[in-house]
Structure 1
Amino acid sequence: MRFNSVLPIAAAAVSIAMTTAVKPASAFTVYGGAGTVRPCSAVVSGADSCAGVYDGNDSLTDLNSKISTVSGLSAAWGTGWNQVARVNSPAAPPTGSTVSGFNVASSGGSGTWNISGISIPSGKVLSSFIIALKAANDYAYYHFGSGTPLSGTWSTANFLNNGNRQPDLSHATLYAQFENAPNAVPEPFTIVGSGVALGVGAMMRKKQQKKEKSIG
């Protein structure tokens, strides 16, 4: 999906949306449903819940299907998801690989992630996001709500290859939800300007009323 050009305020909106609306700490929630091969866990730092582990490959269609069919997932994660970027076979730290502002660095079965460089559609703010990890034949979705950081670490400890060993990361996919930005607050000079205009208008009306009285 292509996003509109981003003004500096949009980048600030990401930070505000994801770092100031801090939610109370809560237990990590695991979702499964049909096709689960083993339970996922909190192997991606900052995530509040996960869905999986599943056999196959993640996609936007699959994510939407899981949300609509897995018990409790629709209420927890909501709808309106967009695929932002996918990083295939990410490079090693500290540089890693970046696609559309989504950076992933891999040391094989662990590494780092960072979404601070993604573009936000005009008039929107980032409300929540999901990072999907794919390794060997396994994949899982890890959800982040408001109040979570824009960077962290990940591990493929939830996954197993054909030799029942922890595999290297194949790819990571970023999905995001956007919501309308709050109405902009007028700048002080705009408020002052409005006050001056109202004051001038009131003075002109008083002069006109005096003139009409003198004529009458």
Structure 2
Amino acid sequence: MTLFGLVIGLAASRAQAIAITDVSFRIPPAVSQNASAAQQVAGNDSVAEINKLSGAFAGDTWTLLDKTDAASTVFNNVTFTLTSVAGNKSGGWQLSWSGGGLPLNMDFVFVTKAARDWGAYLFESMNFTTAPMAGEGTFAISWLNNGGQTPGLSHASIYGRLANDPSQDLDPRQVPIPGSLLLLALGLGLLGQSRKGARHS
């Protein structure tokens, strides 16, 4: 193969875009839904790399919940366990959860790592409850490796963050007070002081 052919081949494989339909997820009895956003990135996924993603992925910080080749972590008093079969080019995956922090409404990113790239798939405002305590999904690797073949799954990962739900994102003691309310309080305080001063004179 000539250098020109190699460059064209690499460009073609890189140009093959991933799609939101590559990954689905459902919590029974709900029907499967596709990701709401997807991005393909070179290298390996990590908390730092996930938090560099743009578009719908940007915003609050992501936390690693579990990886198929590593131990799971506790997030908001809930432990998530991800299972999938390495080596498959497509197939199923399962996510289970348990802990005292349920129910939990959160966004999550499902990651497929294969060959030199990884795909990030966003699922928003998913409600994790105590019944059921497991969900299932499908995945398909849609990019090519250096040999022009579809690579098998190296590992899958799950990253999570609280969904944009004020009742979960803010401690009621930390809810910001609107500026107009502060001005009203200041005005009432000054009015009280002026009346007090008028009585003494």
**Category of TM-score, reference length = shorter chain:** 0.5 to 0.7
Alignment-mate amino acid for residue 102 of structure 1:
L
**Partner of 1:88 in structure 2?**
69
Structure 2 CA distance for partners of 1:120 and 1:140, relative to 1, 3 Å: farther
Counterpart in 2 of 1:135? 114
- Provide the rounded CA distance (Å) in 2 between the counterparts of 1:132 and 1:121: 26
Q: In 2, Cα distance between the equivalents of 1:164 and 1:147?
A: 36
Provide the rounded CA distance (Å) in 1 between the counterparts of 2:52 and 2:161.
Answer: 16
Matched, 1:66 2:89: no
Quick one: distance in 2 between partners of 1:56 and 1:87?
17
Instruction: Structure 1: state its 5+ residue gaps.
Output: 1-36, 68-72, 90-98, 184-216
Partner letter of residue 84 of structure 1?
A: L
Q: Which letter does structure 1 place at the counterpart of 2:114?
A: A
CA RMSD of aligned residues (A): 3.2
Partner of 2:153: 169
Q: 1:102 to 1:81 in 2, by over 3 A?
A: same
Deviating beyond 6 angstroms after TM superposition, the runs of 4 or more aligned structure 1 residues are none
Name stretches of at least 5 consecutive residues in structure 2 with no aligned partner.
Answer: 1-13, 25-33, 71-78, 128-133, 169-201
Tell me, in whole angstroms, the C-alpha distance in 2 between the residues paired with 1:57 and 1:64: 13
Alpha-carbon distance, 1:124 to partner: 6.6
Number of equivalences: 130
In percent, how many aligned pairs have the same letter? 27
1:150 aligned onto 2:131: no
Alignment check: 8 A CA contact 1:138 1:160 kept: no
Task: Say which structure is richer in strand.
Answer: 2
Query: For residue 56 of structure 1, what is the aligned residue in structure 2?
Result: 43
1:40 to 5, 13, 18: 18
Specify which of 99, 104, 110 is matched with residue 84 of structure 2: 104
Q: In the alignment, is the contact (CA less than 8 A) between 2:86 and 2:154 conserved in 1?
A: no
